Amino acid sequence: MDLSQYNLIWEYMQPELLLLLATILLFFVDLFASPRFLDKWFSGIACLLLAVVTALSCIPGGETNTLFAGMFINTPMTTAMKMVLNIGTILVLLQAHAWINSEACRVRRGEFYELMFFTLFGMYLMISSGHFLIFFIGLETASLPIAALVAFNKRGDKSYESGAKYLFNAVFSSAIFLMGISFIYGISGSLYFEDIAATAATNTALFVVALAFIITGIGFKLSLVPFHLWTADVYQGAPTAITSYLSVISKGAAAFAFIWVLFKTFSPAPEVWQGILYVLIILTITLGNLFAIRQKDLKRFLAFSSISQAGYIMLGVMAYSAQGITALVYYILVYIFSNLAAFGVIATIEHKTGKVNMDDYNGLYKTNPKLSLAMMLAMFSLAGIPPFAGFFSKFFIFASAVHSGYYILVFIALLNTIISLYYYLLVVKAMFINENENPIETIKTGCYGRTGIVVCVAGILLLGLASCVYGYLSELSLTVGF
Amino acid sequence: MEYTLFILVLPLAMFLLLGLLDSKLKPRVAGILGTLGMTVCTALAYLTAFQFFTQPRNAEGIIPSQVPYNFEWLRFTENLHIDLGIYLDPISVMMLVVITTVSLMVHIYSLGYMHGEKGFQRYYAFLSLFSMSMLGLVVATNIFQMYIFWELVGVSSYLLIGFYYTKPAAIAASKKAFIVTRFADLGFLIGILILSFFTKTFDFVTLTTNPTAIITESAGATFLGCSVASWALALIFMGGAGKSAMFPLHIWLPDAMEGPTPVSALIHAATMVVAGVYLVARLFPVYCVTPEVLDLITTVGAVTALYAAIVACVQTDIKRVLAFSTISQIAFMMVALGVASDTDLHTGLGYMASMFHLFTHAMFKALLFLGAGAIIHAVHSNEMSEMGGLRKYMPITHITFLIACLAIAGIPPFSGFFSKDEILTAVMEKSTFWGIWMTAVAGLTAFYMFRLYFRIFWWKDTDCSHHTPHEAPATMTMPLIFLALVTCVAGFIPFGELVSVNGQPYHIHLNWSVAATSIIVAVCAIALAAWLYMKENKKPTAMANATRTLHTAAYRRFYIDEIYLFVTHKIIFGLICRPIAWFDRHIIDGTMDMFAHVTQWTSARIKGLQSGSIQGYVWILLIGTLLIATITICCCL
């Protein structure tokens, strides 16, 4: 291996290597800096490092580059996807600041950031993989640390329970996924995405079973129905920062990776996986909504809402077109801002008062008008009310599916948005209309948390109107090629 | 000329600043901030106008139009994309000057007029919003952008009419204005869609450089005996007629006088109500390919002009007189556009005349409204009967009001004479019938304006036992003086050199036969008004009694409002809406309730799935996977 090879690796794997560097740097800071310094600056340094990583690697190269004999693929679109995840992670870190620096968690602060960064690295690998083994390594790197994070509050029974549930479910779904991969290897004799697409015979039962198993593996991370059952319990029990991370970043990464797996590996038989997804989407959106209606605990409520959102996200995959990819990435970007705005408010209130029930939010407007406003915007955006970003993202993703001819599916999805509007508005109603004798006292949000929420609100307000974002993604997706 | 963007951004920033801070700012600070913003904006507009009109003309003698800024907002398909941009050509630059000038005057004037009002900051925020929308409307590069700002203008007008939101009449008026103009805008939107469907573009430049495209593209497509092109343009005109208060969509404008008087001056006299005229002028080359629509515009304009002038003669609320006078004057502009054509400079005189009248009218009508505001401020009433003999108490208001009245009556050398003369010449050339008709309306104009003038400033020597009216503060008189000066000199601006139908310079020359006729008619009308209203007497009452039926009918605006009420309440609400409402409440709501119940019921039934036990979860996951695989195999293989 000559020296130019290293140059290439550095050039093509820039996001990954920068992230690793940041992780190592953070590790040493945690190890050697004085506790007082850490109390004051550690979170800031972590956010800053991630921001620097994002800034340095956000200039995507013009073309597709492959490394390690095609196992690792870097395209402008994958870089854009990674940057979307980075932005979301920075927001999560900002919102986690108050909680992670509290008396109880302070000691384990370093672990939190390290684990977070490692999962992010795993997600990068998933997105950039051109080979099923790399993909699987990425998948596991992304999910095992999350199990530790979910069980982060060691003394809280719920957190423990959630961690265990997540771990068992993840292990089980990974096993099925691996089995799927082995079938694929049996059919085509290769684990490269391109080879599989070129050689696999698509009309055999084995192929379909393999496809179903792989969909299960990724569908678990996306929490598609019927692989979603862990979601609500884990979301409820995990620390809120982790819940928000699970609901947007982990889900987003899985969706991005799903695109590449389906579009590259299973491109010879799109109608087969489209048929499966068709049913899964309807189930996911509908069941997610039906369960969300009944929830009283806001974290559980958002868990089901995120299940149904995953169904909408899958519409972009269904479209199987450049437009679909654009719409999907855009949807996730907007979803990150909307959902994190909601979680930011919930995290703030939970941290200060420990209250997470919808009834506790009655009359919140009287005491915390700004938090209520942020929450309201988040709900409006999630429900897709114009002119907020959520409307545009829904519009584009529906448009992409309609473009590919799924009229009935989009119609069902539209009907479901009406149901979702109902429960999103329940939250708004609780805050603004319902009377309450003793509402939650006025809360002063910390500097980090406030920045996080303000950025999210700004995203909700501006992303839809600034058409350049969608235009930029659209240009990138055209380079993908079909 | 990239700085033109700031003409739009600045008022928007002011709106956001004043609107968001609202009561956190001191009223005085908010007012001064808003006014300063508008001052900068006005300066920029003047700079734009200067640079634009002094740039070298091209070979054909046309001032080249410019698009300093164009930004693609949304691209749906190859043909369908929505752009936002700035388009500068003679009429849009002229409008920039008009809007910023009047708006600045109103900003300054309001510092005095609205002093101490509750919601002062909000008022200035809305004024900024309106200015931004109106400026965005005139510089629109495409018809869809125009539509967006058109609606924004409607919203800000709604907000400003309903500014005194505790007054039921103001709320009713704002609703009425909004609904009536919205109804007209429905036509506008449909028109836009038809037009762009056939021409495959929203862009003004493309539309106007090849106006016959719509004819060729839609060749053969007819609807109810008229070509689709005519329908599209007539529907677009309907939108314009709604905003410009043309008969029979004029009913909102007199009621809109419930808003603060400076708002009436800005929106309902000088700027927003001429948007319809501007729209027709903007699409004028397209209108020229469908002469029947131009004839429609002429007829609608002429009828409106006469109707409004007659009604204005008998109103007693001074702002309503001005409102009807505005309707009548805008109708003049419409008629002028209707009789023009774009073949050469001579037949296109009406276009130039219309724009010229728009310009001069904006100035003197704003002056009239602001003067009326000063009077209302002094006597605390809108009714003529409360006034009289004010000339001694309010000298500045008196002189400036008189200048404006002379201008609108068409007495030289004031600006209105020149522009009105061009309109009458243009109409006379096209058709003698409409020429005589419009000359008669001009006579009526002079009569009702001087009726107003004499009733306010002469009539009786006031016995001001309760309080003495006094001159308005300097913030209010300064705009009056400025606008009066403009009214005195605007007629001498070589307007035709700058704005004409095909862009080539047109040298204005007076047609003395027309001018002499109209001056004689105007002077006679003024003399009649003086004879009737100079001194308090019984003649007007006697005349009203002699023509009781006509007088009452005119006073009640020929029962148009009642007809509307009858149609909407009795026919639409009673016969159409009530059955639909029943259907909606019982059938549609019932179905929806059923869906809701089913949803809730299902949701309750399936909650057992979420048992909380890991074994159960994994079991369902596995079963799900196997089911998917099995079903897919059965279906696909």
Residues in chain B, total: 637
Minimum Cα–Cα distance from B83: chain A residue: A467
Q: Where residue A411 falls among pLDDT bands split at 50, 70, 90?
A: very high
Query: Which chain B residues have a beta carbon less than 8 Å from that of A205?
Result: 633, 637
Instruction: Please give the structure tokens belonging to residue B133.
Output: 């929308």
> Closest Cα of chain A to B633: distance in Å?
6
Place of tokens 């690998």: A125
Residue B605 exposed, middle or buried by CB count within 10 Å (0-12, 13-18, 19+): exposed
Determine what percent of chain B falls in helix, strand and coil, rounding each to the nearest 5: 75, 5, 20
State whether the Cα torsion B479-B481-B482-B488 is positive or negative.
positive
Q: Are A399 and A330 within 8 A, CB to CB?
A: no
Q: Which pLDDT score is estimated for A481?
A: 64
Q: CA nearest B469: which of B372, B379, B376, B371?
A: B379
Instruction: Please give the structure tokens belonging to residue B341.
Output: 């054509």
Using CB atoms, pick whichever of A165, A172, A212 lies closest to residue B628: A212
Place of tokens 């708006």: B103
CA B555 vs. chain centroid, Å, equals 24
Using CB atoms, pick whichever of A230, A290, A467 lies closest to residue B74: A467
Q: Which pLDDT score is estimated for B232?
A: 86
Q: Which pLDDT score is estimated for A454?
A: 92
Q: Which pLDDT score is estimated for A482?
A: 63
Q: Which pLDDT score is estimated for B62?
A: 82
Mutation for A interface: B20, B73, B591, B610, most A CBs within 10 A: B610
Region for A320 from its dihedrals, namely left if φ exceeds 0, alpha if ψ lies in -120 to 50, beta otherwise: left
Q: Residue B629 and residue A168: Cβ atoms within 8 Å?
A: no
Q: CA nearest B106: which of B302, B352, B369, B358?
A: B369
Residue B528 exposed, middle or buried by CB count within 10 Å (0-12, 13-18, 19+): middle
> Rounded mean pLDDT of A394-410?
91
What CA–CA distance (Å, rounded) separates B243 from B223?
A: 26
Q: Residue B632 and residue A275: Cβ atoms within 8 Å?
A: yes
Q: Residue A220 and residue B621: Cβ atoms within 8 Å?
A: yes
What CA–CA distance (Å, rounded) separates A425 from A17?
A: 44
Q: Residue B633 and residue A209: Cβ atoms within 8 Å?
A: yes
> Closest Cα of chain B to A229: distance in Å?
6
Q: Where residue A243 falls among pLDDT bands split at 50, 70, 90?
A: very high
Query: Which chain B residues have a beta carbon less than 8 Å from that of A467?
Result: 72-74
> Closest Cα of chain A to B74: distance in Å?
6
Quick one: what percent of chain A has pLDDT higher than 90? Answer: 39
CB atoms within 10 A of CB B565: 12
Q: Are B168 and B41 within 8 A, CB to CB?
A: no
Q: Are A325 and A81 within 8 A, CB to CB?
A: no
pLDDT at A143 over 80: yes
What CA–CA distance (Å, rounded) separates B127 from B78?
A: 38
Q: Which pLDDT score is estimated for A255?
A: 94
Q: Which pLDDT score is estimated for A199?
A: 80
pLDDT digits (tens, 9 = 90+) for A83-118: 999 999 999 999 888 888 888 788 888 889 999 999
Minimum Cα–Cα distance from A273: chain B residue: B632
> Rounded mean pLDDT of A231-247?
90
Q: Which pLDDT score is estimated for A92?
A: 93
pLDDT digits (tens, 9 = 90+) for B12-43: 999 988 888 877 888 888 888 889 999 999 99
Q: CA nearest B440: which of B356, B327, B524?
A: B524
Q: Which pLDDT score is estimated for B300?
A: 92
Query: Which chain A residues have a beta carbon less than 8 Å from that of B600?
Result: 293
Query: Which chain B residues have a beta carbon less than 8 Å from that of A227?
Result: 621, 624-625
Residue B47: φ, ψ to 5°: -60, -45
Q: Which residues of chain B have pLDDT under 70?
A: 76, 213-215, 217-221, 224-225, 461-467, 637
Minimum Cα–Cα distance from B602: chain A residue: A290
Q: CA nearest A318: which of A413, A185, A213?
A: A413
Determine what percent of chain A falls in helix, strand and coil, rounding each to the nearest 5: 80, 0, 20
- Predicted ipTM beyond 0.85: no
Minimum Cα–Cα distance from B633: chain A residue: A205
Does this model's pTM top 0.90? My answer is: no
Query: Which chain B residues have a beta carbon less than 8 Å from that of A176?
Result: 621-622, 625
- Cα B127 to Cα A432, B153, B344, B497: the distances in Å are 30, 11, 40, 33
Q: Which pLDDT score is estimated for A86?
A: 92
Minimum Cα–Cα distance from B616: chain A residue: A229
Query: Which chain A residues have a beta carbon less than 8 Å from that of B72?
Result: 467, 471
Q: How many CB pairs under 8 A join A and B?
A: 91
Q: Residue B637 and residue A203: Cβ atoms within 8 Å?
A: yes
Could you report how far apart the first and last alpha carbons of chain B are, in Å? 66
Lowest mean pLDDT among A22-26, A276-280, B464-468, B571-575: B464-468
pLDDT at A318 over 70: yes
pLDDT at A60 over 60: no
The contact set of B with A (CB < 8 A) is 72-75, 599-600, 602-604, 606-607, 609-610, 612, 614, 616-618, 620-626, 628-629, 632-633, 635-637
Q: Where residue A7 falls among pLDDT bands split at 50, 70, 90?
A: confident
Q: Residue B633 and residue A168: Cβ atoms within 8 Å?
A: no
Q: Residue A294 and residue B606: Cβ atoms within 8 Å?
A: no
Q: CA nearest A462: which of A339, A377, A362?
A: A377
Query: Which chain B residues have a beta carbon less than 8 Å from that of A168?
Result: 614, 618
pLDDT at A75 over 80: yes
What CA–CA distance (Å, rounded) separates A147 from B495?
A: 77
Query: Which chain B residues have a beta carbon less than 8 Å from that of A471?
Result: 72, 75
Q: Which pLDDT score is estimated for B132?
A: 92
> Closest Cα of chain B to A126: distance in Å?
22
Query: Which chain B residues have a beta carbon less than 8 Å from that of A233?
Result: 610, 612
Using CB atoms, pick whichever of B609, B612, B636 lies closest to residue A272: B636
Q: Are B339 and B430 within 8 A, CB to CB?
A: yes
> Closest Cα of chain A to B631: distance in Å?
9
Q: Which pLDDT score is estimated for A252?
A: 93
Q: Which pLDDT score is estimated for B422?
A: 87
Please report, as a single letter, which amino acid is at residue A341. A
Residues in chain A, total: 482
